[in-house]
A and B are shown apart, each in its own frame.
Chain A
């Protein structure tokens, strides 16, 4: 296994500070690991513009690589292309559900494009309850404990839960 591949494996064990059930790789935050010989470059993508966890993620990623003796490493954070929830892996979506957060739907093409966003009469999003699987749920707030989530409740099992918003 090459040094970059080993680093990639190590990053599968670095938890996201906001959703520690998922690794930074599951969330699609680690985009690439490039071996420059003298050092490794880890390409990270910030999620939301104001995500307060960005710097903590950078520190923990570099520390994990150093701890495995794979350093020195540095992180780069290109803004483009912008992070999208479509980059969350299938494994990541499964872990989200187990953690009690409904995983994001695919980004709707009409919303991904620049035109055509609907202000009103949006299709209500059918969000399945991560606890009982019921689709009989309702949104209680468009924003949750972090900008990336909305608050929902299940009308069948009556449990509140969070939904990772498509972005």
Chain B
């Protein structure tokens, strides 16, 4: 059994892990739809978006490993950390749920990622800026696709509307973590690595409001809830998804296709 690796707590490394891990876990959740989506076209679309996310994750984690300078490559970072060392937001690790849950989460996350990549394209770190310059084009397609579906579900049948409503109520409170300020964010802003995620809150709300208006869904009321995945304290779902992801690398260290 391959032992776990420890990763530097330097803020620039942590900032990159947040981005890479959030893309990684969301990509893994979307991949779960392969062979299970409601229609074949959507099966293919979700797998394609998962692939984009894994590709973005791979680039960001490879760069995190290079910045850290401890010889960790992207595969080691993706597969050999313990749960507490993953920095993804809790929203992306929640189970995939029904199709409405996936559509609502994709709308929230693609909107967030699009705004984040736009800002990261101006990073003082040229590698991160280059990754972002490519990823932002992909995130635009993801956002359009998710938003189109949310409008269809909300304006579809009574059942699709009920499910869209329910998914929104379930997932909405998790958005707060995306914009919660902390020292890692501040250090990234100070060094010019990337924006404080809290700066994305206003444009994110504006775009989400536009999408929800179009769908005829009300923006849910704020609730006092803050998830903590970014600092490594995850929901009970995280252990299961990691077990599935890590099994092969743990059992066959360094295994490749």
Contact of B55 with A80 in the complex, beta carbons under 8 Å = no
Most buried by B among A49, A117, A142: A49
> What's the minimum C-beta distance from B46 to chain A, rounded to whole angstroms?
8
Do residues B44 and A143 form an inter-chain contact, with CB atoms below 8 A? yes
Does A111 count as interface, using CB distance less than 8 angstroms?
Answer: yes
Q: Is A52 an interface residue (CB 8 A)?
A: yes
Bound Cα distance from A161 to B105, whole angstroms = 30
A interface secondary structure, majority: loop
The answer to whether residues A114 and B118 also contact, given A48-B138, A141-B41, A141-B44 and a CB cut-off of 8 A, is yes
A80 touches B59 (CB 8 A): no
List the A side residues contacting B140 at CB < 8 Å.
Answer: 111, 117
Known contacts A52-B51, A119-B147; A142 and B141 CB within 8 A of each other: yes
**How many whole Å from B37's CB to the nearest CB in chain A?**
11
Question: Is A50 touching B133 in the complex (CB atoms < 8 A)?
Answer: no
- Whether the Cβ atoms of B130 and A141 lie closer than 8 Å is no
User: Which B residues are CB-close (under 8 A) to A82?
Assistant: 130, 133-134, 137
B207 contacts partner chain A, Cβ-Cβ < 8 Å: yes
Cβ of B109 < 8 Å from any Cβ of A? no
B200 at the binding interface (Cβ < 8 Å) = no
Chain B residues with CB under 8 Å of chain A are: 41-42, 44-45, 48-49, 51-56, 58-59, 114, 118, 121, 126-127, 129-131, 133-138, 140-141, 143-145, 147-148, 151, 207, 210-211, 214
Nearest first, the 9 closest Cβ-Cβ pairs linking A and B are A50-B55, A49-B55, A141-B41, A79-B130, A80-B130, A143-B45, A50-B51, A82-B134, A147-B48
Can you list 9 A-B contacts with CB-CB less than 8 angstroms, sorted by A residue number?
Answer: A49-B58, A52-B51, A79-B130, A111-B140, A119-B147, A120-B214, A141-B45, A143-B49, A151-B41
Chain A interface residues (CB < 8 Å from chain B): 46, 48-52, 78-83, 111, 114, 117, 119-120, 122, 140-147, 151, 165, 167
